[in-house]
């Protein structure tokens, strides 16, 4: 099973702000994260940042940060690693001034879980091959333009399975690959549309498939109405939203990529709240026994 596939040969690029954090030597100790809101770091851009979020039933401590710089994110990751937490969700937003900002969720965990931020394509793929040989598998990938070239963030977790990862695929090719991988016994855990240029006139997809046999409905590039209608239909059929990604097309319209999984739990989903609304909802759901499993900040067209 191919580990990584691209539509073009990787090119060597000079690292602008690449950082690698393995933290393998740190000892994970017990820790409990507070549920209080974390300050929004977007400063002057905070008014246009909105969020998508999914909660699931849970009682664990689950820290989260929003619109953090790469430096602040990695510093927080070091602190939480020592307290026995590992990054589970990592999403990136490019602000109006071109600066990457990050939203992240940690879960209780142990063992090595490398995180890389802002790596070139060549660096990223080369490192993935090394980690593959060390028994680590990609869990999340961000791909975005920065200073004219594509940059990558990644999170790896221990694993030995065959795992398919693709980047830079058209939506038609991506759908065909999903059908092929389903037939081979693999299911998507990430499906992310990525703008190929500042105008958003072309969208390409990232995908990660892991071994699985369950029915797992998906949608790529859906409108909000399509996404909401599909979620209602899947809910009554015994599926719950597991993954949610949003991107803007060339005329500023929001489009959604969604993955559902079998389930019967209550699973709140909200789209487009501002930061204060997100924090208020998180506090309310935390007290009711729910924990964030997906959060993604994005620049709203309004």
**The pLDDT value given to residue 300:** 83
The residue ranges of every structural domain in the chain are 49-299
Q: Look-up: residue for tokens 């400063």?
A: 43
**The pLDDT value given to residue 12:** 22
Q: 115 forms bridges with which residues in the sheet? A: 21, 155
**The pLDDT value given to residue 97:** 86
**The pLDDT value given to residue 7:** 35
Q: What DSSP character marks residue 101? A: E
Among residues 246, 244, 52, 257, which one has the least CA distance to residue 171? 257
Q: How far is CA 264 from CA 238, 239, 241, 249, in A?
A: 6, 7, 11, 33
Contact by Cβ (8 Å): 38, 105: no
Q: How far is CA 88 from CA 51, 107, 108, 148, in A?
A: 17, 6, 9, 28
Q: Look-up: residue for tokens 């009711």?
A: 288
Q: Look-up: residue for tokens 């007290």?
A: 287
**The pLDDT value given to residue 93:** 94
Positive or negative, the Cα torsion across 289, 294, 296, 301?
A: negative
Alpha carbon 111 to chain centroid, angstroms: 20
pLDDT in tens, the chain (302 residues): 433 433 332 222 222 233 333 222 222 222 223 333 344 444 334 448 999 999 999 999 999 999 999 999 999 999 999 999 999 999 999 988 889 999 999 999 999 999 999 999 999 999 999 999 999 999 999 999 999 899 999 999 999 999 999 999 999 999 999 999 999 999 999 999 999 987 778 999 999 999 999 999 999 999 999 999 999 999 999 999 999 999 999 888 999 999 999 999 999 999 999 999 999 999 999 999 999 999 999 998 66
**The pLDDT value given to residue 301:** 67
- State the pTM of this model: 0.85
């Amino acid at each position: 099973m191919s580990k990584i596939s691209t539509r073009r040969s990787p090119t060597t690029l000079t690292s602008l702000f690449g950082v690698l954090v393995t933290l393998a030597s740190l000892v994970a100790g017990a820790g409990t994260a507070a549920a209080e809101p974390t300050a929004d770091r977007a400063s002057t851009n905070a008014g246009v940042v909105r969020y998508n979020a999914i909660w699931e039933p849970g009682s664990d401590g689950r820290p989260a940060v929003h619109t953090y710089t790469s430096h602040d994110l990695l510093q927080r990751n070091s602190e939480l690693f020592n307290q026995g937490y590992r990054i589970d969700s990592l999403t990136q937003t490019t602000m109006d001034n071109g600066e990457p900002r990050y939203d992240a969720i940690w879960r209780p965990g142990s063992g090595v879980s490398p995180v890389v931020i802002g790596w070139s394509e060549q660096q990223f793929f080369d490192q993935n091959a090394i980690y593959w040989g060390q028994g680590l598998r990609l869990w999340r990938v961000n791909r975005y333009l920065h200073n004219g070239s594509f940059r990558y963030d990644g999170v790896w977790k221990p694993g030995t399975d065959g795992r398919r990862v693709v980047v830079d695929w058209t939506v038609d090719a991506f759908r065909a690959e999903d059908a092929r991988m389903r037939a081979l016994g693999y299911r998507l855990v990430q499906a992310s549309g990525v703008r190929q240029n500042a105008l958003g006139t072309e969208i390409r997809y990232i995908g990660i498939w892991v071994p699985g046999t369950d029915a797992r409905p998906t949608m790529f590039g859906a409108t909000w109405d399509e996404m909401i209608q599909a979620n209602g239909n899947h809910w009554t059929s015994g599926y719950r939203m597991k993954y949610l990604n949003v991107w803007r097309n060339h005329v500023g319209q929001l489009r959604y990529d969604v993955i559902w999984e079998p389930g019967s739990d209550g699973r709140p989903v909200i789209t487009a709240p501002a930061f204060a609304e997100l924090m208020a909802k998180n506090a309310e759901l935390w007290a009711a026994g729910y924990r964030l499993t997906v959060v993604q900040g994005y620049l709203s067209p309004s």
